[in-house]
A and B are shown apart, each in its own frame.
Chain A
């Protein structure tokens, strides 16, 4: 799903990083957001509605709409559409509303 040849933009992709999503290894390029890398890997369902459990994807991709909230390295409700993917990140689909975790 990554664009290779583009008439206007020359995509300068950084070096590759690997993170885990629900235990599966996903490759991203440095500077890419978690949501972008997941999309490139074919993941379109990012969360579920609280009541009816309907699948949710992203909508705005700029941190406004909150339909991409996930648990990242233990922290709940992370907007993955504006969070860069980093080597070794542990990303999980979030169940429920999450809770406040004290940062150490």
Chain B
């Protein structure tokens, strides 16, 4: 059985950053991803990032993986072993990982594991939500930004958080009509700069609105909307029908924690962080000392914070193996970066969720 020093599951922003951080410390890293290319969901993010320069602000998401990979090639010195088209099927309590590469199984026993598996999209319950044409926002992005295929002709966007707003704008760029963005909450959840952009383009954002049902024979032909009162109950008589062929759900994400459950990590349900999240220390170490976590698998946030969490997890996984140079100074820098990203009103929910994390793990 192969025993890599560090195995990282997931080659998105968190996993790539963790790999770079660990390799820089001198550790040997196997980076495993089920997709044929590394980058995770960055490959479909055509918008420019916010935040600070350290997290690639003003660079489009699609251009970030190449930058991280170039650094990994340059600084990897034969210590970076990327495994694409490889799915981790099992993460056992003895630290063994079961890999599946094109129908061939392999067991490995890394000294340290970093889980950076990202998130899955949440669903919304309403009649007709299983009709073809009801797509997750990520699926819409994959179709139009990766493959250059329009998801449909007229789209109803559900959710006015950053993803709903950004994907609406991307739909316009792809030449698709967005009929409306609806949001159950009384106010827009995403950044005002994104909301202003889509409003300027003529897309109405209807707050305190929800979808009552989707209708259509073999696929979506329309949706019935209605108003919500302050208790989130449908207001009778406010129904209106919209003819659309795509209903795009941007109603949040939840951490993909299956491998962490299987390994036996302690987890806690924190809605502010997206659902069940693993308990972890400020080193991003879980309740199992060989297992670290980073990115959306740890808590639903943005790619910027996922990258910093990756750096922290990579740093401490390497430090535990004896690659302990400069750890304190680096950790201080990374922690400050995280704190900056989570400061201000946009980070309030994350700060609240983290403060409720059992064991007082990571509080900013």
Contact = CB atoms under 8 A, between A and B. Distances in A.
Contact of B145 (A9, A32, A56, A60): A9
B36 to A, nearest CB: 8
Contacts of A22: none
Contacts of B130: 49, 54, 56, 67
Given A8-B46, A45-B219, A60 B136 contact: yes
Contact of B147 (A33, A54, A64): A33
Contact of A44 (B121, B147, B218): B218
Contacts of A58: 132, 135, 139
A63 to B, nearest CB: 7
A60 B131 contact: no
Interface string B115-158: 00000110100000011111110110011111111110000000
A82 B33 CA distance: 13
A86 B123 CA distance: 32
B138 A3 contact: no
A62 B107 CA distance: 24
B321 interface: no
Contact of B134 (A45, A57, A62, A63): A57
A54 B129 CA distance: 11
B149 A36 contact: yes
Contacts of A63: 34
A44 B133 CA distance: 7
B212 interface: no
Question: Taking each of B34, B46, B138, B143, which has the highest tally of chain A beta carbons within 10 Å of its own beta carbon?
Answer: B143
A3 B174 contact: yes
Contacts of B133: 44, 57
A46 interface: yes
Interface residues of A, number: 34
What's the dominant secondary structure at chain A's contact region? loop
A103 interface: yes
A51 interface: no
Interface in A40-61: 40, 44-46, 49, 54-61
A101 to B, nearest CB: 12
B219 A55 contact: yes
A23 interface: no
Contact of B138 (A39, A45, A61): A61
A2 B173 contact: no
Contact of A6 (B60, B123, B173, B219): B173
Contacts of B146: 36
Given A36-B143, A39-B143, A46-B132, 17 more contacts: A2-B150, A3-B144, A11-B147, A32-B147, A36-B149, A44-B218, A45-B219, A49-B130, A55-B131, A55-B132, A57-B131, A59-B121, A59-B134, A60-B120, A61-B138, A62-B138, A81-B139
Interface of B: 34-35, 46, 60, 62, 103, 120-121, 123, 130-136, 138-139, 142-151, 173-175, 218-219
